C-alpha cells in the first residue's frame, strides 16, 4: 500500500471553505482505479492547516493519478488560496494493531 500524507496551509477561517471546494475532487479521486482512500481534513489544532491523506493499492495507481492530473485541463482558479507545505509518500505494510 502507498500512503501520501500532506500538510496544506490556508488562511485562518478558510478551512471549511477549502474542504467544501475539494469535495468534487475527493469524489472523483475515490472513484479512480487503485484508490483506497483520499481525504482532506481540518487540522483540529490549527485553523490555517488542512491535512491530506491518500491510500493507494500501488505506486502504479498513484502514478496514474498524478499523470491524469497533469494531463487534465487547468481547473478554474481556486476560491480559497492554499499552499502545500509538505507531502510525503510512504510504502506501507499493514500489521496487527496493538489493541486487537
Q: For the chain, list the domains and their CATH numbers.
A: 2-91 (3.30.70.100)
Pick 8 or 69 by higher pLDDT: 8
Q: For 1-5, 50-54, 69-73, 88-92, which range has the lowest pLDDT when averaged over its residues?
A: 69-73
Tell the burial category of 50 from Cβ atoms under 10 Å away from its Cβ (0-12, 13-18, 19+): buried
70: how many CB neighbours lie within 10 A of its CB? 7
Q: Taking residues 40-68, report their average pLDDT.
A: 97
Looking at every residue in the chain, the average pLDDT score rounds to: 95
pLDDT band at 74 (very low <50, low <70, confident <90, very high): confident
Amino acid at each position: 500500500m502507498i500512503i501520501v500524507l500532506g500538510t496544506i496551509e490556508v488562511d485562518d477561517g478558510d478551512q471549511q471553505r477549502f474542504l467544501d471546494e475539494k469535495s468534487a475532487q475527493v469524489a472523483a479521486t475515490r472513484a479512480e482505479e487503485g484508490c483506497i482512500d483520499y481525504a482532506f481534513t481540518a487540522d483540529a489544532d490549527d485553523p490555517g492547516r488542512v491535512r491530506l491523506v491518500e491510500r493507494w493499492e500501488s505506486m502504479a495507481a498513484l502514478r496514474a493519478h498524478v499523470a491524469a492530473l497533469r494531463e487534465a485541463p487547468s481547473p478554474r482558479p481556486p476560491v480559497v488560496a492554499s499552499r502545500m507545505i509538505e507531502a510525503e509518500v510512504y510504502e506501507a505494510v499493514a500489521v496487527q494493531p496493538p489493541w486487537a
